[in-house]
């Protein structure tokens, strides 16, 4: 028996049968699909509108108020004082939102943007 007989002949496996390659490519494809699903959900669910970390919003990040909303207890007796407490809390919390003039269309008028007819 000589040394040549101990060396097994080289077997060429086609690329599509190589397990490592399939694993790597499969992982990349799966990751891409999952990212696309996540991005679609991010865009369609309305989460994007609440995400202030998007590019272009850095200058307004400090304008977002932290959530300090006080809850009303959902159990307990109900009398006139309970309603007074509720109304006091209700007025205090709902007054925090500034709805005066928000989303007025005048900001997007042609004149305001300088694109009105001469």
Partner 1 sequence: MKFNIPRLIAIPVVIATVVVSPALAVTVTMTDAHVARIKENCPVALATLGRIHASDAPQYINSNQIYYSTGDKLMARLNSRLTLNQFDASSLVKTASDYVATLDKFRKVYKIYDDTMSELVRMDCQRTPVTFYDRVAVAREQRGEVREAVIEIQALISKYRSQVEKFRVDNLTETDDE
For binding to partner 1 (CB under 8 A), which residues are involved? Answer: 46, 48-50, 52, 56-57, 59-61, 63-65, 67, 69-80, 82-83, 86-87, 89-91, 93-94, 96-97, 99, 102-105, 107-110, 112-118
Q: Give the nearer residue to partner 1 in terms of CB position, either 1 or 60.
A: 60
Sorted by sequence, the CB contacts under 8 Å of residue 93 that are 6+ apart come out as: 69, 70
Q: Give the nearer residue to partner 1 in terms of CB position, either 8 or 71.
A: 71
Sorted by sequence, the CB contacts under 8 Å of residue 53 that are 6+ apart come out as: 61
Q: Give the nearer residue to partner 1 in terms of CB position, either 14 or 118.
A: 118
């Amino acid at each position: 028996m000589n040394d040549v007989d101990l060396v097994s002949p080289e077997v060429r496996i086609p690329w599509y049968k190589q397990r490592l390659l399939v694993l790597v490519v499969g992982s990349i494809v799966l990751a891409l699909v999952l990212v696309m699903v996540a991005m679609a959900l991010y865009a369609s669910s309305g989460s994007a509108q609440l995400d202030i970390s998007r590019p272009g919003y850095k200058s307004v990040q400090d304008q977002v108020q932290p959530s300090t909303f006080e809850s009303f207890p959902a159990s307990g007796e109900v009398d006139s004082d309970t309603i007074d407490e509720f109304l006091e809390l209700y007025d205090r919390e709902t007054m925090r939102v500034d709805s005066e003039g928000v989303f007025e269309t005048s900001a997007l008028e042609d004149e305001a943007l300088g694109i009105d007819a001469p």
